[in-house]
Amino acid sequence: MKKNIDIIFLTENESSCFEYDWIKYLLKDNFFVNYFYINPHKLIEFANQELGDNLKIIVISDNDNFCKSKLKQIKNKFDYGIIHLSDEWFLSNYSLLYDGALFVFRNYLNPSLVEKDNIFHFPLGPRFYDFNLSKTKKIQSKSKLIFFKGEIKGERKKMINTFKKNSIDIFKGSNKRLSYEDYLKELRSCVFSLSPNGNTTPETLRVYECIENDVIPICSSLKALNYFTLLFSKPPPFLFFKSWENASRYFKTNDNFIMDKKSILEINDWWDNEKLYFKNNFNNVIHDFSSHNKDKIKLPFFKSIHIRIKSIFWLLYLQDSNSLISRFKNLFNTNLIIRILKRMFLG
């Protein structure tokens, strides 16, 4: 039986949250959902209204410290769950943010939180704009081998130069500024796409653009394999290598364009099953926590400190050596130090 739930985005408008469609997709088949977009300045006013008995789930971005500071003001107003987005630096004050919630769904995998009974992870997910568009291009019509489009600097520049050194062409698409739809059409013309790390993790929007559009992501680190294996219910059938050098040599010595059409079908099946898994996970958790008297989240002080220390080590583990050296150099940047300390101790 479908339940009625209220999803409350602490934001001024829907367009400020690119995960909106992904969250809507995960909930749409199992719940009757009312969506609210609440300016954080008006959150208390909203909470003091007669809101009914529907379970409330508050969607909050880790990038918005003002919204996070407002959340503590409604802890005793009603029971609620949290969808916590954008904690890719793993520096959030989890005790301050999570205490008082029935449950938390969060993207960006943090192993230090995995064992908590009422904290759950879900993928960053694709940016849906048309649920049917990704199926309009057949696998056999692909005309290019490897795709990459994006800013070329730092580690990305080394990545592109490594493939160039081994005489592997990377399709970069048009030099013009494209609409998102046209960008995805270029992506779908290729069998593979290079998928370098984002700011801190191998999980990026690019990965989900690939697997939603019949393209196989190429990752350059076994740390990426560890990350995605922990995140998903089954290990993803991406291409994982120890380095971009290993990846480029692989393509130099294999006829992958023909061989890996079967792998695209394998990824399609895997991704369909994973989407169903996470939809069911949302359904089961929300039904369970709204139907039974469950303890609210409470992270004791020393437990919270332990989690945050482990989170920092996880962040450092995910960086490649060159990136890590760059980050240590940045420690001489006083403004960065202040920012990190504020995030750690003030939330």
For 236-294, how does the pLDDT look when each residue is reduced to its tens digit (9 = 90+)? 999 999 999 999 999 988 755 554 567 888 999 999 999 999 999 999 999 998 877 78
Is the pLDDT assigned to residue 138 strictly greater than 60? Answer: no
What phi and psi, each to the nearest 5 degrees, are found at residue 280?
-65, -35
Give the pLDDT mean for 164-180.
92
Confidence at residue 16, expressed as pLDDT on a 0 to 100 scale: 63
Is the pLDDT assigned to residue 136 strictly greater than 50? Answer: no
C-alpha distances out from residue 22 to 123, 212, 278, Å: 10, 12, 11
CB atoms within 10 A of CB 161: 13
Confidence band of 137 (pLDDT split at 50, 70, 90) = very low
Give the global pTM.
Answer: 0.90
What are the pLDDT digits (tens) for 298-325? 999 899 999 999 999 999 899 876 655 5
C-alpha distances out from residue 300 to 62, 71, 205, Å: 21, 19, 34
Confidence at residue 41, expressed as pLDDT on a 0 to 100 scale: 84
Is the pLDDT assigned to residue 331 strictly greater than 60? Answer: no
Give the pLDDT mean for 13-24.
78
Is the pLDDT assigned to residue 100 strictly greater than 80? Answer: yes
Pick the CATH number of 133-259 from 3.40.50, 3.30.450, 1.20.5, 1.20.120: 3.40.50
Percent of the chain with pLDDT over 90: 58
Confidence at residue 252, expressed as pLDDT on a 0 to 100 scale: 87
Q: Which two tokens stand for residue 125?
A: 């997910």
What are the pLDDT digits (tens) for 194-206? 999 998 999 999 9
Confidence at residue 163, expressed as pLDDT on a 0 to 100 scale: 96
Indicate the range of 7-16, 143-152, 160-169, 178-187 predicted with least confidence.
7-16
Confidence at residue 134, expressed as pLDDT on a 0 to 100 scale: 46
Is the pLDDT assigned to residue 335 strictly greater than 80? Answer: no
What are the pLDDT digits (tens) for 44-60? 888 888 788 899 999 99
Pick the CATH number of 3-122+278-346 from 3.40.50, 2.40.30, 3.40.720, 3.10.450: 3.40.50
The CATH 3.40.50 portion of the chain extends over 3-122+278-346, 133-259
Confidence band of 327 (pLDDT split at 50, 70, 90) = low
Sequence-ordered strand ranges (E) for 18-166: 31-38, 55-61, 80-85, 104-106, 119-121, 144-147
Q: How far is CA 146 from the centre of its chain?
A: 23
Give the pLDDT mean for 149-154.
90
